[in-house]
A = this chain, B = another copy of it.
Amino acid sequence: MSNELTGYRGEALSLLKKANASIGKQIRITRNGETYEGILIPRSEYGDEKHILVKLKSGYNIGIKVASNMKVEVTGVGAKPAFTRPPAPAAKEELPKVAVVSTGGTIASKVDYRTGAVEPALTAEDLYAIVPELSDLAKVKAHVLFSELSENLTPKHWSEIAYAVAKQIEEGASGVVVAHGTDTLGYTAAALSFALQNLPVPVVLVGAQRSSDRPSSDAALNLAGAVAVAAESDLAEVVAVMHEKTGDEVVAVHRGTKVRKCHTSNRDAFKSINMQPLAHYNVLEKTFEMTGENYRQRDPSRKMVVKPTFNEKATLIKFHPGSVPELIDWYVEKGYRGIVLEGTGLGHVGRTYNAPIKRAVEKGVVVGMTSQCIWGKVHMTVYYTGRDLLALGVLQLEDMLAETALVKMMWALGQTENPEEAKKIMLTNLAGEFSERRIPQER
């Protein structure tokens, strides 16, 4: 029966078949002089062909890599592990509590094949069905906040998500996972980074590039990684946890203000810009690898500050040859209070932009400069065009992502109506948006 070796393929499957093994049996694996003994457990959909998963007596699951000199023997019957429900409540109570707040998108959806409709799927039971390993990682509580493809989210949704996450933290969650569509996940990650200050525990955005009913889905790996980071990492920041490379074991932990979707369809689409990811987490081995020390550390006693207001009268303008500077006047006339320019190179726009920028600044509009290059930082004193813009009062936003700068502008103008105050906020490092400055531990 194929069910007896659920999830195994290729070399791993051959080895297990040869040994006459099946899920739930006690097996012994000998490889390179080392011996592993435990219960054979099924692979999830994200599994590769090269690992056999065994639950050791310690309760720890390990993935053992297939090798040419590997020997597999069945040594007993074992108890068939129950994966669709959490194990005995007594044991579970000791696990960290993780809240999963679902907002929609591919990761939270399941296609109903009869109707073709996409439905939100994130009850706790659905989660355990997709990723049985979750029950070993945390006591998961699922909460469907809304169900939207993320291109339809607006700053109002960011506020709603901030409130919902804060509520879970106030109720004692050891970490919160936000399941989110990938299209604007980076924008929301930045929004929560500013709205949820002085976090005591991690807030982890997670998405999937391919839905969980597809063999190449990244949903299970990403969810398992996100829950582990929420439950166990030393971080107390807003991060995005997504597939790291083309391999199938490691997720990257990206800072919320520095993460960007850089591929339309690949599973490793999300990249940390102008910095390394904060950490890597190997889902099979259950190991963290921090890449540096410049992060805010978990401290459950820290007092969170929630500032969830965004002012939608801010926008992002991508400059291009032939673009019309009157666009700036149009926004000013519509009552906009903030404009982020996505300029060229080190932070430039055509000289025809100078006059409308001057008019905007004189009316108290905050204007900031970022670069459409994406990597690197703006540096506006190198050429006279940049110096002219600085003289007009344009803020030099260093290596801040254009998208993060837009979100921060909306947030800054949600905190104050005073342009000078808003400018100060824009130039202060609040959540690692300037990557060359130390991240503040407390504010």
Chain A contact-residue range equals 35 or more
**A374 neighbours in B (Cβ, 8 Å):** 262-263, 374
Between-chain CB contacts (< 8 Å), 27 pairs: A149-B348, A151-B319, A151-B344, A151-B348, A151-B350, A152-B385, A154-B322, A154-B350, A157-B321, A183-B348, A184-B321, A188-B321, A261-B344, A263-B373, A263-B374, A264-B345, A264-B373, A264-B375, A264-B378, A265-B377, A265-B379, A266-B375, A312-B322, A316-B323, A320-B403, A320-B406, A322-B410
A324 contacts the other chain (CB 8 A): yes
B contact residues around A320 at 8 Å (CB): 184, 187, 315-316, 403, 406
330-377 of chain A: CB within 8 A of chain B: 330, 334, 342-351, 371-377
* Chain B residue at minimal CB-CB distance from A370: B264
* In contact, B154 and A262 (Cβ under 8 angstroms): no
A146 interface residue per 8 A CB criterion: no
Is A187 a contact partner of B321 (Cβ separation < 8 A)? yes
A151 x B322 contact (CB < 8 A) = no
Q: Which residues of the other chain, B, contact A26 by a CB distance below 8 angstroms? A: none
State the Cβ distance, A152 to closest chain B Cβ, in Å: 5
CB of A269 closer than 8 Å to a CB of B: yes
Tell yes or no: A300 within 8 A of B by CB: no
User: When chains A and B are docked, how far (Å) is the Cα of A243 from the Cα of B441?
Assistant: 40
Chain A residues in the interface with B (C-beta under 8 A): 149-155, 157-158, 182-184, 187-188, 261-266, 269, 310, 312, 314-316, 318-324, 330, 334, 342-351, 371-379, 383, 385, 403, 406, 410
| Of listed A262, A263, A322, A350, residue having the most chain B CB within 10 A | A322
Q: By DSSP majority rule, is chain A's interface helix, strand, loop, or mixed?
A: loop
Which of B263, B385, B410 is close to A376, meaning CB atoms less than 8 Å apart?
A: B263
Q: Which residues of B contact A150 (CB under 8 A)?
A: 344
Find out whether the CB atom of A321 lies under 8 angstroms from the CB atom of B153: yes
Report Cα–Cα, A344/B180, bound state, in Å.
14
Q: Give which listed residue, B149, B343, B345, contacts A383 with CB less than 8 A.
A: B149
CA distance A372 to B330 in the complex (A): 24
The closest CB in chain B to the CB of A313 belongs to B322
**A40 CB, min distance to chain B CBs, angstroms:** 36
Distance between Cα atoms of A149 and B346 in the complex (Å): 12
Chain B residue numbers with a CB within 8 Å of A322 are: 154-155, 310, 312, 314-315, 410
Which of A188, A334, A346, A373 has the most chain B CB atoms closer than 10 A to its own CB? A373
* A385 and B351 form a contact (CB under 8 A): no
A392–B411 Cα distance when bound, in Å, is 34
Closest 5 CB pairs of A and B: A264-B376, A183-B344, A183-B345, A151-B348, A263-B375
Determine whether the beta carbon of B316 is less than 8 Å from that of A262: no
**For A153, what are the chain B residues with a Cβ–Cβ distance below 8 Å?**
321, 350
Q: A151 CA to B261 CA in the complex, in Å? A: 26
Interface centre among A262, A318, A324 (most CB of B within 10 A): A318
Find chain B residues with CB under 8 A from A316 CB: 318, 320, 323
Cβ contacts under 8 Å, A347 to chain B: 264
> Chain B residue with minimal CB distance to A383?
B149
CA distance A348 to B322 in the complex (A): 24
Chain B residues contacting A262 (CB-CB under 8 Å) are 373-375
- B264 and A349 contacting across the interface, CB-CB below 8 Å: no
Please give the distance in Å from A271's CB to the nearest CB on chain B: 10
